[in-house]
Structure 1
Amino acid sequence: MPRSILLSTCFGVLATAPAFAQDAAPLVDIITINASRTSAETTQLDQQDIASQTTPDATAVLAQLPGLNSVSNGALSGQVQYRGLFGDRLNIRLNGRQFVSGGPNLMDPPMHYAPASLLEQVIVDRGISPVSAGPGLAGGMDAQFKSVDWSQDSTFSFSADLSVGLQSVDEGWSRSALLGTANNQFRLYAFGAHETGEDFSSGDFDIAGTQYERLIYGLGAGLQSDDQSLSVQFRRNETGPTGNPQFAMDIRFVDSDFIEVDYDRSQGAWTFGARLSWNDVAHAMNNFSLRPAPGDMMRFRETFAYAEHQAIALTASRDFAGGALSLGLDHTRATHDVTITNPNNADFFLNNLPDIEIQRTGAFVEWQGPLGQWDAEIGARFDSHDAEADTASVGSAVPMMPAMLAMNFNMSDRAWDDVTTDFAARIWRPLSDQALLRVNLARKTRVPTYLERFAWLPTPASAGLADGNTYVGDIELEAETAWIVEAGIDFQNDTAYFRPSAFYRRVDDYIQGVAFDDTVGIVDTPVEMVSMMNGDMTPLRFANVDAELYGFDGDFGYQLSPSWQLDGRFEYVRAKRRDISDNLYRVAPGNIGLGLTYQAERWQAGLETVWTASQDEVSSTNSEQASDSYCLWNFHARLDGPAGSTLAVRMDNLFDETYVPHLSGRNRNAGSQLALGDGIPGAGRNFGLRLSWAR
C-alpha cells in the first residue's frame, strides 16, 4: 500500500500519492471522506481524509485539490470552480447522476445536497470529464453517498458510521449517522445529517444574515446474485432559513426529494446497466426574513421556484480490441417554473420563468485500453436538445411596463432545439518506473441554461454570478464550444512526488452578460426602464462572445524522514475575452500552499500555510472589483482511538487574519456592520472538533 502523505491546502488532509499501476489513476483524483471506510481499490489512488472538517460547505473542502476553488454564495450555496469555470459548465454528479437545482440563482447548487459527513468519496475528473459521464464544458466530479457494503457470506453484519462536530466561528453543530445491515445478497441502511449555525464571525464583528440549517435523511436497499444486482436509494433534503448576503434574497426553504434505481446484469461477454433517477425541488426565497425588511410594503418580494427532473441511462460494455468498450443511451427531462410575488398584495405576481420544459437525448461510445505505447480513453457523445417555455402571466397590481414585457415574450417564438457533439481523448504512457506523461484533447459543448435563454424580465437572477447586475436572456443563443488541450507529468519515487499540469481552453460562443444595447446609461427601452425600477440602469443580456482560459496547477511532496512530510499545491489560471479587451468574471487568483506534518502510529499533527495572490485581472463588464493578497496559517491534529473511533481537532486562521477571498461575493444585506457592496470577508479564527466512530 502506498505511503501516507499530507496534501497541503487551507484544509489539511491525509492523502496517498498516485499509483501509476492503476488504469484510472491518471484520469481521476479520489477524495475519500472517511479513511476508516476506504476500499482496497481507492487506497491505491490519490485520496484525502477530510473527516476532520466541520464546515457545512463541502466545496470549501474540495478546494484542497489543484485547480479547484470554492465560490462562496452563502453557507450552503457554495459552487465549485475548476480552472476558472463554475456553475453549469462543470459536470457535477451525485451518485453518478446529473440532476436539476431549484432556483434561478443556484442557491441550491449541486454540492448543496452533499454534506461531507454523508459522502463516501468524491471522484474528481482530472482536466476533462469522460463523455460517458454526460455533457459538460469542463471537468467535473462525482460525489458518492455512503452506503453499506455487501459482506462475503450469508451471515448478516451490522454497520454504523456516526459523527458529531462543532466549530466556534459560527457556533455550528453537525450530526450524522449511517446504520445498516448486509450479507452477500441483501443490504438495507438508513442515514441522516443535521447541520445548524449562526452568523459567522470575522475579526471583531459578525457577518449578519449568514446563519444556516439543513437536514438530509434517506434509505437505501439492494439485492444481488452472481450475475445481477439491484439498488434503490431515497434521499430527502430540507433546508431551513439560510442567509445569502451575496444575493438580493435569502433562502426561506429548499425541500427536495431524490429517488435512484440502479440495475446491472452480466450476460455472456456483455455487462448491461440501467440507471433511473427522479428529483424535485420546491424553493422559496425572500428579502425580509433574514435581513431588514424594505421600508415600502410594495418592495417586499418572495420568489417561489419549482423544478422536476427525470432521467434514464442504459449502458452496455464488453472487452474489445484489447480494452473495454462502453456504449450508452440516456434521456433527461426537466421542468422549471419561477414566480415572483409580494406577500402583502395577492394581485402582485410575475411568472417570469413559466413552465419551461427541457429535454435531452444522448448517445455515447467510449473505449479504454492500450494504443501502441500509450494507454487511452477515447469517446464521442451526440446529444439532441429541445426546450420550450409556456406563456408568462402577471398580476393586476404589476406596473404596465413589466406587463408589456410579458406580452412581448408571449408573442415571441419560445421553442428551441439543437444538436451537440463532444469528443474526448485522454491518453497517458509511462516515461519510466517513476514518471508518467498525460495528454488530454477534447471538444466539449454546453447548451444555454433555461435562465440564459428564457429570462424575459430583468432581475438579479444569474445562476450564482452574484454581481449585482440585472439580466435578461436570449432565445437565439448558440451552444458554447470549448477546444481543450492539456498536458502533465506524474512523478513519484520512494521519497517524493510531483504532478504538474498545463492547460488551454479556447471557448467559442461563450455565454457572458453584455450591455443590453449600444446606448449604455440611456434608458430608452422597456427592458432598461424595468431594470431601472429594480435599481440597475445598465442591465446586461446574455450573449455569445469568445473566450480563452489557460494556466497551470499541480501538487508535490517530499518525505523528510520516516515521520516528517512536506507537501504542497499551486495553481494559476488566466481567463479573458477574445472578442474585446476584458477578463472573465470571478476567477480565482493564483495561490500556493505548504504543509508540514508529523505522523506517528496513532496520531498526527501538522501546520500549514496558504498564500493567495491579489486578483486585478477583473471583469469590467460585470463591474468586478479587484482583491488583495493574503496569507493564512492553520493547525490540525488527529488521534485514532480504539474500536474505530477518531478525534480530530483543528484551528483555522490561527492569527485571526482579516481577508476577503476574491470568490466570496459582495454584501447586499443592509442589516450588517459590513457596508453594502463591501466584499464579504473570510471567517476569523475558528476552532473545530469532530468525533467519529465507524465499524
Structure 2
Amino acid sequence: MTSRYCFSPVCSDNKSTKNNKKTIQLRAKSKPIKFKHSVYSLIYAAVILALTAPNNAFAESALKNSTQKSISRVKDDQQTPLHSEDREAKVIERIEIIGQINTGLMESEIALAETSSPDLRSQLSQLPGVSVNGNGLVSGIVQYRGLFGDRLKVKIDGIEIAGAGPNAMDSPLSHAIGNSHEIMLYQGIAPVSVGYETLAGAIEIKDAIPSLGDSKAFAASTTLSASWFTNNDAKMLGVSTVLANDENYASFQGQYQDAQNYESGDGLIIPSTFYERSGLKFKLGKHTDAYQLDLLIGSRNTNESGTPALAMDISFVDALWYKLSFEQNISNDWKTKVQVFGNQNQHIMNNFGLRTAPTLASYRQNTVDSKAVGVDLDVIQNSAKRNWQLGLNYYSQAHNSRITNPNTSSFFIQNFNNIQREVGSAYVQYNITANSKESANIHSNDVHWQLGGRFSNIGYSTDEVDSNMVLVNPNIATLANNFNTSQGTLDFDLIDLVVKAETKINDSLRATLSLGQKERAPSYNELYSWFPLGVSAGLADGRNYLGNLALKKETAGQIDIGLQLQSDGLTIMGSVFYHSIDNYIIGVLSSNMSANMIANMMGAQPPLQWNNRKAKLHGADLYISKIIGTHWQATMSGQWVEGKLSDSIDGQRYPLYRIAPLSGNISLRWSKADLDASLSLNIADSQNNVSLLQNERPTPGYAVWNFNLHYQVMPTLALSLVAENLLDKEYAQHLGGINRVSGSEIAVAQKVPEMGRNIGLYAEYSF
C-alpha cells in the first residue's frame, strides 16, 4: 500500500478510485534535535548536522499505510531501485506499511514496520515528531511535538471521536480497525481547512478507498489475515471483503485481537497489559464522474483490558461511529463536499475486577457514556495556479460519568451530568502560486502561498452534580453547592490564522516558512471536574484534579522553517519549530480548602486545579533516506522537543509533563523480487527534564534492535517474520507511564517496562 504526500499548497485533494489510481494530498511540518550522552552522540551528530539545513514541508503530508499487522505488497515485474522519481505509486512495494512522500520535487519511501502493537502506535511512532503515550496497550494517546490529548486533532475514518472515558481509555487511536489504512499526518502548522483546535496539528487515520473495476460487472475480493506473537500470546484474526464494479462498492472488515500480560526483558510479568477486543466496519459507496456518495458504519467492542498507568482497568467499551458523505462536481473547477457523522460510546471501568482489589470500602466503578453528532460542509476550487476552500462545521457532544461502589448501594458521585459541548466554525483558505519572473520557462523562484483563517465558537453547559456524601461531609456539600450555583454555561471564541510560503531554490532544494496562530478552548474535564479525582484526560500522573470554570482559552503563536533536499538517491527533510502558548492549561496546587481537606481525608496529595500559565516549546524533526545500489535503502529519522512553563508555579518554572525525549530510528532495508528484509534500531536518550509537580521521574535512554522478514510466497499468499527487542533488553519508555497496579512484580509508581524479546508470525491470503 502506498501514499502520496503533496507539500505544495496548490495541490488538489481530488481522489479517484478507478483503475487503482489514487492521489492523496496533505500538508506538512516538523521539529529540532538535541542529545546528551556519548552512547548516542555519533548517531545524533548526523541529525544535528542535517538540521543546520532543516526541512519540512508546509503543505500537507499524507501517509497512506497498511494497518498494524497488514502486509500490502504491489509487485513490480521489473527489478527497480527502492525508489525513483518517476515511479508510479502502484509500483512502490511494501510489506508491513509503506508511505511515499511526493513533494512534486522529490520522492522518498517511509517503510513502517509491522509490530505486535494492537493499534497503530508503533507505526505512528516511526514518523518524525510523533510519539504515543502508552497508558495501556489499547489506550494510546498520540503526541506530536510535545503536545497531546485535546491539543492534537486525531480523526478516525474522517470524523472526530468523542470518547467516553474521562482518562482517554477509549482514545481515538483505539477505534482504528482494518488491514488497509491511510495515515495522513498534517505536519507542523496544520491548514485551517483541517479543522478547529489544531494547536499541535492533526492526524487522520482511515481506510484506503476500495478500488473500483473497469466494467459494470461486479467482482469480489477477500483478504484473510492472522498473526501470533510469542511473548504475550497475542493473536489477531482479520477479514476484509470488497465487492465492486466500475461505479459501486460494498466492503466489510472484521478483526479480533487478544493477548495476555507480557514479560519484560528481565522476565517480569507486567500487570494489566492484557487485552481482548473485536471490531466490524461496513462501507457502501457509489462514485461517478459527477458525484461520490459513501456510507460508513464502524463498531469496536473492547472487553476486559488493562491500563497499568491508570487507577482502573477497562471492563468494556462499546463504541459505534458512522459517516454519510456526498461530494459533487459543480463545474470544471469547483466541487462541494458534505458529510454527516457521529459516534456514541458506552464504557465501564473499575479498580477491583481485573487487578489486586483494595478494601471493600474503596471499590470504585465508573459508568460513563458519550454521544456526538456533526456536519461538515466544504466548497473547493481546484485550478492550475490557485484554489479556494471555504467551509462550515457544526459539532455537538455530550458526556456523563457516575461513580459507584458495588458493595455499598447508596454510594455515588455524579461526576459529570449531561455536559453539552457545541461547536460552530467557519473557515476560508486560499492557495496561490506567484511567479517572480514573467517567463513561463523559469519556475525556480515561484512561491506557493497558503493563506487561511478560521473562526470558531465553542459553548458549554451542564446539569447539576450530586453525591450521597453531601449529607455527611460538609466539604463535599460545599463543593457540590458551589458548582451547582455557579455559572455553568460558558462560551469561547477562537481565531486561527495560517500563512505558509514555499519556494524552489534549485532543482534539488526547496524551502518553506509557516506562521500561525492556533487556539483551543478548555476541555470539559478541565472545566467541570467539581470533585478532586484522578480525571486528567489520560495524563496518568497519579494526581487528583479539580476543574476551574474561570479558565481562559489557549492561544499559540507558531513558526516553522524547513528545507527539503533530494539529489542522487538522497532525500533529507527536516524542520525547526517554535511555539509560544498563552494561557496554557496546567494543574497548579489547589487553594480550595474544601477540596484540600477531602484529599487529606483520603490520604492523597493536595489536588491540582486547572489554571492558565504561559508556556513555550521548541524542537526539530528530521528524515533522511539514501538509496544504495539497486536493492538497499538506509533511512534515519530523529526528533527532539523541549517544553517548559514561562510563568512560575511556586517560584519554579517546571518543564511540561510527559514530553518525549530525544529519539530516533535507524534502519537498513534490502529488497529483491519476492523477499524483503529490514533491520532497525530504535534509540531514545534519557529524559531528565521532568515535572516534579506531577510526580514525573527521569527515564534512562535505551537502544532496541528489531528485525522484519517478508516473503511473497505467491501472488495470493504473503508471510512475515517479526522479531522485536532482539537482545531481550530491559527498558522503559518515558511515555509508558508509571505502574498503578499493586501486588505485582512491578512496584507501584515504577516506570512500566516495555516488552522483552517478542517473535511473531504474520500471514495474509487473498482471493
TM-score of the pair, normalised by structure 2 = 0.85
Q: Between Structure 1 and Structure 2, how many residues are aligned?
A: 674
Post-superposition offset of 1:48: 4.1
Letter in 2 for 1:570: G
Q: Does 1:284 align with 2:348?
A: yes
Q: Does 1:36 align with 2:54?
A: no
Q: Does 1:670 align with 2:742?
A: yes
SS in 1 for 2:271: coil
Q: Counterpart in 2 of 1:600?
A: 672
Superposed, 1:227-238 pairs within 5 Å as 227-238=290-301
Residues in 1 aligned to 2:457 and 2:91: alpha-carbon distance in whole angstroms: 39
Contact 1:459 1:534 in 2 (8 A): no
Q: Counterpart in 2 of 1:410?
A: 484
Deviation string for 1:148-173 (max 9, x for gaps)? Answer: 32223212121223211111221100
Deviation string for 1:57-81 (max 9, x for gaps)? Answer: 3122200011111111001001111
Which structure has the highest strand share of the two?
A: 1
Superposed, 1:78-93 pairs within 5 Å as 78-93=140-155
Q: Counterpart in 2 of 1:389?
A: 462
Q: Does 1:133 align with 2:194?
A: yes
Q: Does 1:179 align with 2:241?
A: yes
Q: Does 1:213 align with 2:276?
A: yes
Post-superposition offset of 1:396: 6.0
Residues in 2 aligned to 1:495 and 1:187: alpha-carbon distance in whole angstroms: 39
Q: Counterpart in 1 of 2:568?
A: 494
Contact 1:264 1:274 in 2 (8 A): yes
Q: Counterpart in 1 of 2:687?
A: 615
Residues in 1 aligned to 2:758 and 2:62: alpha-carbon distance in whole angstroms: 28
Contact 1:119 1:143 in 2 (8 A): no
Q: Counterpart in 2 of 1:335?
A: 398
Deviation string for 1:129-181 (max 9, x for gaps)? Answer: 21111111111111012453222321212122321111122110011111120
SS in 2 for 1:617: coil
Post-superposition offset of 1:525: 1.3
1:123 is aligned, of 160, 184, 188, to: 184
Q: Counterpart in 2 of 1:360?
A: 423
Letter in 1 for 2:491: D
Post-superposition offset of 1:583: 0.4
Contact 2:622 2:639 in 1 (8 A): yes
Post-superposition offset of 1:494: 2.8
Deviation string for 1:334-366 (max 9, x for gaps)? Answer: 000111111112211111111100100000111
Letter in 1 for 2:587: G
Q: Does 1:656 align with 2:728?
A: yes
What is the CA RMSD across the aligned residues, in angstroms?
2.1
Letter in 1 for 2:466: S
1:562 is aligned, of 630, 645, 648, to: 630
Q: Counterpart in 1 of 2:213?
A: 151
Contact 1:560 1:566 in 2 (8 A): yes
Q: Counterpart in 2 of 1:266?
A: 329
Q: Which has the higher contact order (CA 8 A, sep 6+)?
A: 2
Contact 2:686 2:700 in 1 (8 A): yes
Residues in 2 aligned to 1:16 and 1:99: alpha-carbon distance in whole angstroms: 24
Contact 2:470 2:476 in 1 (8 A): no
Cα distance change, pair 192–50 in 1 and its aligned pair in 2 (3 A): farther
Post-superposition offset of 1:593: 2.2
Letter in 1 for 2:588: V
Deviation string for 1:412-468 (max 9, x for gaps)? Answer: 111100211101123212112211112221101111100001110100110010000
Q: Counterpart in 2 of 1:481?
A: 555
Cα distance change, pair 508–92 in 1 and its aligned pair in 2 (3 A): same
Letter in 2 for 1:28: S
Gaps of at least 5 residues in structure 2 are: 12-24, 28-56, 75-88, 93-98, 103-107, 436-445
Q: Counterpart in 2 of 1:5?
A: none
Letter in 1 for 2:486: S
Contact 1:453 1:474 in 2 (8 A): yes
Identity rate of aligned residues, in percent? 29
Q: Counterpart in 2 of 1:100?
A: 162
Q: Counterpart in 2 of 1:521?
A: none
Letter in 2 for 1:224: H
Contact 2:62 2:101 in 1 (8 A): no
Q: Does 1:300 align with 2:374?
A: no
Cα distance change, pair 543–582 in 1 and its aligned pair in 2 (3 A): same
Gaps of at least 5 residues in structure 1 are: 1-13, 518-523
Residues in 2 aligned to 1:653 and 1:18: alpha-carbon distance in whole angstroms: 31
Residues in 2 aligned to 1:339 and 1:147: alpha-carbon distance in whole angstroms: 40
Contact 1:199 1:209 in 2 (8 A): yes
SS in 1 for 2:174: helix
Contact 1:593 1:608 in 2 (8 A): yes
Residues in 2 aligned to 1:144 and 1:39: alpha-carbon distance in whole angstroms: 19
Deviation string for 1:245-303 (max 9, x for gaps)? Answer: 111100100001111100111122431111100100101100011111112x1111000
SS in 2 for 1:663: helix
Q: Does 1:572 align with 2:640?
A: yes
Contact 1:73 1:464 in 2 (8 A): yes
Contact 2:63 2:100 in 1 (8 A): no
Q: Tell me which moved more, 261-270 or 446-455.
A: 261-270
Letter in 1 for 2:73: S
Deviation string for 1:647-693 (max 9, x for gaps)? Answer: 11121111111111111111110131101110001110111221123
Cα distance change, pair 559–36 in 1 and its aligned pair in 2 (3 A): closer
Post-superposition offset of 1:17: 9.9
Residues in 2 aligned to 1:436 and 1:17: alpha-carbon distance in whole angstroms: 18
Cα distance change, pair 483–279 in 1 and its aligned pair in 2 (3 A): same
Contact 1:35 1:49 in 2 (8 A): no
Post-superposition offset of 1:641: 2.3
Superposed, 1:395-434 pairs within 5 Å as 395=468, 399-400=472-473, 401-434=475-508
Post-superposition offset of 1:51: 6.8
Contact 1:323 1:367 in 2 (8 A): yes
Letter in 1 for 2:517: R
Contact 1:513 1:542 in 2 (8 A): yes
Post-superposition offset of 1:50: 4.3
Residues in 2 aligned to 1:495 and 1:412: alpha-carbon distance in whole angstroms: 63
Q: Does 1:552 align with 2:620?
A: yes
Contact 1:17 1:497 in 2 (8 A): no
Letter in 2 for 1:309: A
Q: Counterpart in 1 of 2:302?
A: 239
TM-score of the pair, normalised by structure 1 = 0.93
Q: Counterpart in 2 of 1:442?
A: 516
1:379 is aligned, of 438, 441, 452, to: 452
Deviation string for 1:557-598 (max 9, x for gaps)? Answer: 222322222211111111100012210000011013222222
Contact 1:16 1:48 in 2 (8 A): no
Cα distance change, pair 16–404 in 1 and its aligned pair in 2 (3 A): closer
SS in 1 for 2:466: coil
Post-superposition offset of 1:40: 8.1
Cα distance change, pair 15–47 in 1 and its aligned pair in 2 (3 A): farther
Cα distance change, pair 15–497 in 1 and its aligned pair in 2 (3 A): farther
Contact 1:209 1:672 in 2 (8 A): no
Cα distance change, pair 87–534 in 1 and its aligned pair in 2 (3 A): farther
